[in-house]
Structure 1
């Protein structure tokens, strides 16, 4: 108990204090639970109502900036998880399918309430945007411009979600898009969303794609691939991409290499997920792709997650008939702890543009969508 209180003080967190990031203990068993089980114990005890914080995002910002999480990683359970992740492929086709169902097939009512009108479940781009809808549209537009999308392009969307990018690229740029997902609910909803457009949504593992495409995009998918499959993932994309094509990856990244995800996130939110590091991605890229551009806008994920939580919290009265109070605490903990991780710069958000042989004369990096660039120049 004294050890935990002392460590919290190092992060400017006071037990039962009056700052919005101070922790209020409801059950003193929480101390032993955190010491024994690390981050898993911390998250589960919050779900059980053993402690409260007025602003979870600010709490986790301070915890992670002070690297307190590293003081509670050497638990027996974590060591077993590390060895399993190092020795086994936790993202085989069968395991990947069960992991996706766990998170993405839990109910469209939740995601419709939480996300923007296009149902984009990846980081938004907030330059010159004031609403979540505007920020997500700016992100989709920026991707299309980075890929130089044209009306005669056939684009592959690996891990297409509910078809938000596919619909945008078809509507705004006239492109033909094939999206692949292993979520039955996402595939069904995506087909409805894209009805009447040159879009095909397939229920298919990315490893089974065999056709050639002008451009490839993969948004928020690499986090589910796993370090044992990074090379397979990139080789699959290289095989599917035409020689003069471009491939854009948007992925949450870590500052250091790891073989496993946070224990609580892995158990309750993204089973068998894992965030790659620059080193891990770079090693997998060797002899497969030329890296044309690497763009980090990680702080925007903090703002995106806070917008998602505001939507979720605002609509809870409509959702609570289908979800338990414990689910509310779990989902709140997920969104706000992740916001704190990005605010502390512990997590990053990268857009990476790749080519197969290098763009002749060089690739021209973009940092604003067409609308955002015009507004940015006007401000200057």
Structure 2
């Protein structure tokens, strides 16, 4: 088995340098000798067999269990080396039959009903809130930041993301806003305070997030214009003038895409605007990585535009703008990963070493996938009427400038708020 694995890796890895010590003690080298350079070790013969048969699942499991050991470099370096050499290639022995089987099963069973959606959300978002404080920005934005020439640190890039989305929504003081999948409330707070929406309602399926979001609204003195609820989007009543959803559509489930956009159409007023911010794929549709699905985001799925657009068209909504953010999430994840590793001891005190290796693998694999493979972020703007928004995109820049002025004015009046808990 060691010989077979060695031959497979020799074909797979053509960049960088991987030095792999097998359980027998033999050492093999792969790649062209460039950067990155990684030295790793497999601890037992069964680990070799598992890595050969299901690498997309087993590599993460072996790393979590301490059976695939990085001795030089990092797990990110290892994943970057593999993904940069062979983007999308996850089967060491031949055609990805397992991937096609998973895709078929997803087609016939990929539905997240309300109960399953709540369970899936709790699996990830109801973890100890102190974990997220270790690596997120001050506002606890757990989605792709927006990096500009002048906004490169995590806090300012996440603030730029909120500003960019608010500008596209073209909110004024008469508008009511629904935030689907509001997280810890940062976007809703921004829309109430800086975009000056008349009323903002945020919904989430995470009890942990709900408690923090409500506390933040109270601390900001915005309870009269800002409310949060533990609610599934399918249960929400409208209408609203604006709808925003950031980092939630990935959890909808393939068979509920039509349901999601039909509900958006029902909830949105005739002159309304919606903005959907979601991770997506620039390749043909396919199932999510099996390790991510098992350990990180059960029920999650990354859509291709070819899957999203038919559901939008059938709902009666109009696509008015699509922006694709390239590499922004890779940079976001790099900063999250570096922040998490800098506070690794605190994370281990909350959970244990195996959990920390799992979380490191999640952040590293996600960053490498955005940097070397086909993952991007889609920002899809929707409306019911063709004349709801201006004819050119200049209004976005103007709105961003206005929002920035409001941020600066508020900052000059008070010290920045720092998230706790």
Common fold by TM > 0.5: yes
Question: How well do the aligned residues superpose, as a CA RMSD in angstroms?
Answer: 2.4
Equivalent residue in structure 2 for 1:165, among 187, 192, 195: 187
Is 1:370 matched up with 2:401? yes
Measured in 1, the distance between the counterparts of 2:176 and 2:357 equals: 42
Equivalent residue in structure 2 for 1:324, among 338, 352, 355: 352
Give 1:153 shift: 1.3
Give 1:9 shift: 2.8
TM-score (norm 1): 0.91
Aligned length: 374
Note the alpha carbon deviations across 1:321-348, whole angstroms, 9 max, x for none: 2211011111011001111111114201
Quote the residue 1:194 is aligned against: 217
Give 1:103 shift: 0.3
Describe the shift of the 1:280–1:221 C-alpha distance in structure 2 as closer, same or farther (beyond 3 A): same
Quote the residue 2:7 is aligned against: 3
Is 1:305 matched up with 2:309? no
Measured in 1, the distance between the counterparts of 2:187 and 2:36 equals: 38
Contact conserved, 2:83 with 2:372, CA < 8 A, in 1? yes
Of residues 188-197 and 358-367 in structure 1, the stretch that sits farther from structure 2 once superposed is: 358-367
Structure 1 gaps, min length 5 = 375-380
Describe the shift of the 1:341–1:371 C-alpha distance in structure 2 as closer, same or farther (beyond 3 A): farther
Contact conserved, 2:282 with 2:375, CA < 8 A, in 1? yes
Note the alpha carbon deviations across 1:29-80, whole angstroms, 9 max, x for none: 3332122122111110111222326243343334234136343586786565
Measured in 2, the distance between the counterparts of 1:309 and 1:373 equals: 28
Is 1:184 matched up with 2:188? no
TM-score (norm 2): 0.83
Please state whether the residue corresponding to 1:91 is helix, strand or coil. coil
Please state whether the residue corresponding to 2:115 is helix, strand or coil. helix
Note the alpha carbon deviations across 1:94-140, whole angstroms, 9 max, x for none: 11111100000011001112111111101001102132111111110
Measured in 1, the distance between the counterparts of 2:137 and 2:344 equals: 16
Give 1:11 shift: 4.2
Equivalent residue in structure 2 for 1:230, among 254, 257, 269: 257
Measured in 2, the distance between the counterparts of 1:363 and 1:236 equals: 28
Contact conserved, 1:132 with 1:307, CA < 8 A, in 2? yes
Structure 2 gaps, min length 5 = 21-28, 406-421
Quote the residue 1:67 is aligned against: 87
Spell out structure 1 runs of 4+ moving beyond 6 A: 371-374
1:102-141 equivalences in 2 (<5 Å): 102-127=123-148, 128-141=150-163
Give 1:314 shift: 1.9
Equivalent residue in structure 1 for 2:18, among 14, 31, 35: 14
Describe the shift of the 1:23–1:87 C-alpha distance in structure 2 as closer, same or farther (beyond 3 A): farther
Is 1:85 matched up with 2:106? yes
Quote the residue 1:39 is aligned against: 56
Measured in 1, the distance between the counterparts of 2:237 and 2:323 equals: 29
Quote the residue 2:277 is aligned against: 250
Which one has a bigger Cα radius of gyration?
2
Measured in 2, the distance between the counterparts of 1:277 and 1:372 equals: 31
